[in-house]
Chain A
């Protein structure tokens, strides 16, 4: 019964690089409209898991179903990805408009020029993240938070159903953080499904309704308050930080 309703279903997913297991036997499923955080310490395999879920990792075992299809069967429109800040070449000669227009590529045939509708989608998406006033800026001439909002606008312009964001909240200003989390809530409210990798445990309570806690293997999955227990956190961060529990308050101190 849960297989027809779930937006993403992962069964016994493992990824290994040579003898090293980056992701070890992870299984979970989330319904449409959920906002799921993937958390865990550095090197826990969060990015690898996300790439494997999008069908971009060759050496993996297990199965992934996105919108009831294998990732390779998707059409290039339904999955949107927001890359980690550090993966972006800040000198690349593209403007904010160019980047958001990339979200429209899968809606255009080869050599077909952008239509009025595509340009409108680009501007509306930029409006929603509050970045329309910097539409002609080169992508490197923005703050980290602004750049993150532009990449989210690209995902919006793509009109995807599934959103994968790799560390959208790291090193960003307060305004950008508010804009992004409000927009993610709006998206999930309308039935889109969002996964976001998150580095720190703090704020996970505020951001996500579901959490996947991993450190190579899956430590816990479920509703945020049930996952964030001192016991689970101690297991996830056993080698990389201190977990202090005081009644209902939790504190994780990264290395």
Chain B
């Protein structure tokens, strides 16, 4: 194990697949970290969970239509977010319940579709848990494009996002359509989640959205610093996770999330012992 890092770097220089895996994980860590800050500040962790599960039927539909799985997955992810908003605004069912109903419905539909088409067309295990070492050059390009698009979207909307999160009523008096901002964020969230599927998979992607952001939230009281720290935590955990997965031959998604969780634990302990104390 002494020469673990050296062996990893050597392998990284030698194998294209490992380069692609590391690059994909890095991109996912960064964009999940950035968008995750807005997700936790808006208390939307459960919504992240919902959208990540709701992409499953989209993946299957894309396979049947022979199109990139990105398109179908983003489509069913956004559709679910819209459905959750529609139900909670047009009935006495609240957000929490609407999320629970719709994400399990979509996920169940996906499972039924996968078992109906049978065969080896869609690898359920890879979708659920990710398989970053199988990222192809084409996948990497899609991941890069999707993450860049999401980051540009966040940049364009950052003022509206900040004020509509902090003071929704005040935002509307400033002429900001807070509903539209919410759905724009859901679209960007869907894009980021779909781009993360190969790295960490459906089940664990929510960890990449909330754990780095929560870690950063504990360490700073400045939003720009929080966004930067969160991206850094996501990126570092991704690279260390790929490394651990390569060296110890364990599942990549799992090891990335374990590393992220450890970083959170460290931040939590640090925040308890800070001189000025946590403002809780």
Q: Which residues of A contact B (CB under 8 A)?
A: 51, 54, 56, 74-77, 79-81, 83, 87-95, 98-99, 102, 105-106, 108, 110-111, 138, 140-141, 154, 158, 164
Contacts and interface: CB of A to CB of B under 8 A. Distances in A.
A95 B222 contact: yes
B265 interface: no
B166 A106 contact: no
Nearest to A158: B174
Interface of B: 41, 155-156, 159, 162-163, 165-167, 169-170, 172-176, 217, 220-223, 225-226, 279-280
Contacts of B175: 74-76, 106
B222 to A, nearest CB: 6
Contact of A138 (B166, B279, B280): B279
A92 B163 contact: no
By secondary structure, the B interface counts as: helix
A56 to B, nearest CB: 5
Contacts of A158: 174
12 contacts: A56-B173, A83-B170, A89-B166, A92-B166, A95-B221, A95-B222, A102-B170, A105-B159, A108-B159, A110-B159, A138-B222, A141-B279
A90 B176 CA distance: 22
Q: Is chain A's interface secondary structure helix, strand, loop, or mixed overall?
A: loop
A76 B163 CA distance: 13
**A79, A91, A93: most-surrounded residue (chain B CB, <10 A):** A93
A93 B169 contact: no
Given A105-B163, A111-B155, A93 B170 contact: no
A36 B171 CA distance: 23
Contacts of B166: 88-89, 92, 94, 99, 102
Given A75-B175, A95-B222, A90 B169 contact: no
Contacts of A138: 221-222, 279
Contacts of B280: 91
B155 A54 contact: no
A91 B279 contact: yes
Given A83-B167, A89-B166, A102-B167, A111 B156 contact: yes
A80 B173 contact: yes
B174 A105 contact: yes
A121 to B, nearest CB: 15
